[in-house]
Amino acid sequence: MAKKIYIYIYMGNKILLILTLCLTVGTVCAQNEPYVLGADISWMQQDEKSTKYYRNGQAKDLLLILKESGFNYIRLRLFVDPTAKVTEDKPNSDGWSASPYSTAGYCGLDSTIKVAKRVKEAGMKFLLDFHYSDTWADPGKQYKPMSWRNLNFTQLTEKVRSYTKESLQKFKEAGVLPDMVQVGNEVVGGMIHPDGQGNTQNFATLVNAGINGVKDVDPNIKIMMHTINDKNPNSWLTTLKSNLNKVEANAANKIDVIGLSYYPKWHGNVDSLKRALTAIANNHNIKIAVAEYADFHRQVNDVVYNLPSNKRLGTFVWEPQRFDGDDSKPLFDWKNNPAGRHSNALLELYPQMAIDYAPLPSSSSQPSSSSSEAITPILNANSVENVESIRMYFDGSRVLIKKTLSNGKVRVFDLKGKER
3-state helix, strand, coil in the chain (%, to 5): 30, 25, 45
Between CA 75 and CA 291 the distance in angstroms is 9
399-405 and 387-394: which strand pairing?
Answer: antiparallel
Please list the residues that pair with 393 across neighbouring strands.
Answer: 400
C-alpha–C-alpha distance, residues 226 and 354, integer Å: 24
CA pair distance 403, 417, nearest whole angstrom: 11
Q: Determine the Cα–Cα distance for residues 285 and 300; give it in Å rounded to an integer.
A: 21
Which residues does residue 333 pair with via DSSP β-bridges, in sequence order? 342
Residues whose CB is less than 8 angstroms from the CB of residue 188 and which lie 6 or more positions away in sequence, other chains included: 139, 227, 228, 230, 231, 233, 236
Which residue among the candidates 48, 88, 186, 319 is catalytic per the annotation?
186
Which is it for the CA torsion 279, 281, 228, 199, positive or negative? negative
Q: How many CB atoms lie within 10 A of CB 220?
A: 9
Please report, for residues 46, 160, 161, 346, the alpha-carbon distance to residue 107 in angstroms, rounded to integers and kept in the order given.
Answer: 9, 18, 20, 27
Cβ proximity of 89 and 98 under 8 Å: yes
* Distance from C-alpha of 416 to C-alpha of 14, rounded to nearest angstrom: 24
CA 399: distance to chain centroid? Answer: 33
Round to whole Å and give the CA distance between 65 and 258.
28
Mark whether 186 is an active-site residue.
Answer: yes
Query: Among the options 33, 121, 166, 292, which is catalytic?
Result: 292
For residue 419, indicate whether it is catalytic: no
Residues with catalytic roles: 186, 292
